[in-house]
Structure 1
């Protein structure tokens, strides 16, 4: 229904309600005189209403049109992006598999490099706790004679044949410098001589005897790479508990802890429960 029709019907109803007050002759004269004027007024009102509506809705129409164009543009871009993503996924999926293979290869190579580094250190020992300056100006000569004497090892001419001996470097970047003496790295000419020193040091430890130098306790360890030492560091808490219950242990290369407790050799993680079982009676 148009606005013109609505107003005309409304006026017709209004005329009907007032028909009792006017005579048929008056109604006929009024219809003939006022109908054109009323129709013109209704048309003018209708035009004004349409103009107002158009003025109000025109900005909204332009805004909706702009949004529609923008949405259409976004739709085209999203379709393009989806296509590119699909292409990238086709490229990336094989690359991910390649990366996993390469990561495994890198891990294997790192382990092999670390193993080679430790093989190069097989003839080295690390001496900890020796006071600074004890080796004098010639560390090589000092350790050639001091090691067999301190560990009661018989050698030809009373000395070992060494290739080099030196203190560890000082970390100048350390914020809290330590007063502890630096460790000493000694490299033997013969692997057998190095092993004799390690065995002698181990036997002293088993006998609860300490290697001393001017009252300072000196300890001898196998020289190992930083990666293996980090693995050994993870056993520190376990070692303290083993000492507390009187168990003996030996660190086996590269990172295996061999434990002896009450005549039982425990080397696997599953044996931890047996340590607790064996130790339980002594706690009561």
Structure 2
């Protein structure tokens, strides 16, 4: 009986030692996984930063390539006839009352390269490329100063922005609506916003900065800053990463327990 108890104790001690060794190995593997995940997270953040820098350069290059372009919005589909360039030349000369002999030097003009919309939808914009940047600026300024119409509908002129710039400008939409409601004058040069307050003119770098100041001035805006959106996205990604690490550790542990 005594020998049986002694043998049983030895077997239990051996089993405990084996279990301890297994737990130690599992802890080592989990630590290695956490370290690997930490390294991957840092590499991912560095990659995202490099990607952002490259994207900023691409946006700058694209914007420069569109420098001599302008867009005309509101021209009914088919109104341009067979030659968009001739149509635009005639439109600008007549509507803007340019001096006789004015050289527009239009190099290309065409509809936006998207499918033709159905009759009940807004027509595609017309993109016009000028040889000279100054000519485009003069035309744009005159078009903004005068109200141009076609078939009883307003024509709108604007720069031909890169898609990334368009998204940044769209972010001002709710802010513009709030300012218009109060009759406050504003402008949106490129990706900035200029507001003519009673206390003076102020220029903002982005929609978040504009919204923050407007809220301080008493505007009842519901606004989530872009930085907060990015932070929340990072927190979600971190939680997913932590959950993955935890599950990987549990799988390792269960595997060793079965063995």
TM-score range, shorter chain: 0.5 to 0.7
Q: Give the Å deviation of 1:90.
A: 4.8
- Give 2:223's aligned residue: none
- State which structure, 1 or 2, has the greater radius of gyration over its C-alpha atoms: 1
* 1:260 to 2:202 alignment: no
Aligned counterparts, 1:112-127, within 5 A = 112-127=57-72
Distance 1:154 1:275 in 2: 46
* 1:249 to 2:186 alignment: yes
Cα separation, partners in 2 of 1:115 and 1:229, compared to 1, 3 Å: same
Q: Give the Å deviation of 1:92.
A: 4.9
* 1:107 to 2:52 alignment: yes
Q: Give the Å deviation of 1:103.
A: 1.7
Q: Give the Å deviation of 1:216.
A: 2.0
- Give 1:131's aligned residue: 76
Distance 2:44 2:142 in 1: 48
* 1:213 to 2:150 alignment: yes
- Give 1:272's aligned residue: 214
Q: Give the Å deviation of 1:144.
A: 2.1
Cα separation, partners in 2 of 1:108 and 1:129, compared to 1, 3 Å: same
Aligned counterparts, 1:6-25, within 5 A = none
Distance 1:167 1:244 in 2: 33
Q: Give the Å deviation of 1:244.
A: 2.2
Q: 1:232 aligns with which of 149, 152, 169?
A: 169
Q: Give the Å deviation of 1:97.
A: 3.2
* 1:153 to 2:98 alignment: yes
Alignment gaps of 5+ in structure 2: 1-7, 205-209, 220-259
Alignment gaps of 5+ in structure 1: 1-60, 205-209, 278-284
Distance 1:97 1:241 in 2: 41
CA distances 1:187-208 after superposition (whole Å, capped 9, x unpaired): 111111110111112223xxxx
Distance 2:34 2:28 in 1: 10
Q: 1:165 aligns with which of 75, 99, 109?
A: 109
CA distances 1:214-255 after superposition (whole Å, capped 9, x unpaired): 3221000111112111111111111122222222221112x2
Corresponding pairs, count: 209
Cα separation, partners in 2 of 1:274 and 1:99, compared to 1, 3 Å: closer
Distance 1:151 1:228 in 2: 28
1:252 match: secondary structure: coil
Cα separation, partners in 2 of 1:74 and 1:134, compared to 1, 3 Å: farther
1:137 match: secondary structure: coil
Distance 1:145 1:101 in 2: 52
